[in-house]
Amino acid sequence: MTSEQMQKTGLKPVPSVEWVSQPLSIGDLNDLCDATEDAINAGGGFGWIHLPNRNLLERFWQGVLAMPARMLFVARLDNVICGAAQLILPPRSNEAQSYNTQISGLFIAPWARGQGLSRRLLDIVEKTATRKGFAVINIDLRETQDAAIQLYESANYTLIGKHPNYAVVDGKFVAGRSYYKLIQPLENIDPNNRDNT
């Protein structure tokens, strides 16, 4: 049942977010792929412009879970996965940037929007990055993603700059934006007690 249908019946949808630390069940993987397809069709994000083959989508999400340098977070509405975000950890070989991390692919399927799930996803990603001993989160996105820009700017992300040829959509360059946020000062981080794995 969509959030619109629930409003008509007077039922209140139950939103939640979580870190995915185990392989997804077949049902959850299917829900995540459905949400991804809905978001791609609505023009939102993470690199795809046209729908990939369903098998490719399934392998993509399974690959995200298999990569130690990526943490997957999902949003649920009434226990149905309706969005996701990834926290990308720096490579161990990059000591100079070991306190920086990156958010990638934060999205909510159109049918689940308006429930505060984007903000909840962003909050859990930031809290996890802080707990793991990171100081900075970076993000980049297409300039056409108005809702995402509003989300990050309202969460105090600082615009670093704009890239005029960031991506190609429908055979034309689309500008992009890069942001960062200092989530905690370095002096608050014990270098001997970091969990950046």
Query: Could you tell me the domains of the chain?
Result: 14-187 (3.40.630.30)
Mapped onto helix, strand or coil, the DSSP state of residue 4 is helix
CA–CA distance, 98 with 96 (Å, rounded to integer): 6
Residue linked to tokens 């999902």: 74
Q: What is the pLDDT of residue 42?
A: 87
Q: What is the pLDDT of residue 33?
A: 96
Q: What is the pLDDT of residue 1?
A: 47
Residue 58 is classified by DSSP as H
Give the count of alpha carbons within 13 A of 106, CB side only. 27
Tokens of 70: 């990526």
Contacts of 63 (CB under 8 A, 6+ apart): none
Over the chain (197 residues), what is each successive 10-residue block's mean pLDDT? 54 89 95 95 78 94 95 96 96 90 94 94 97 96 92 97 93 95 93 75
Length of the chain: 197
- The whole model's pTM is what? 0.90
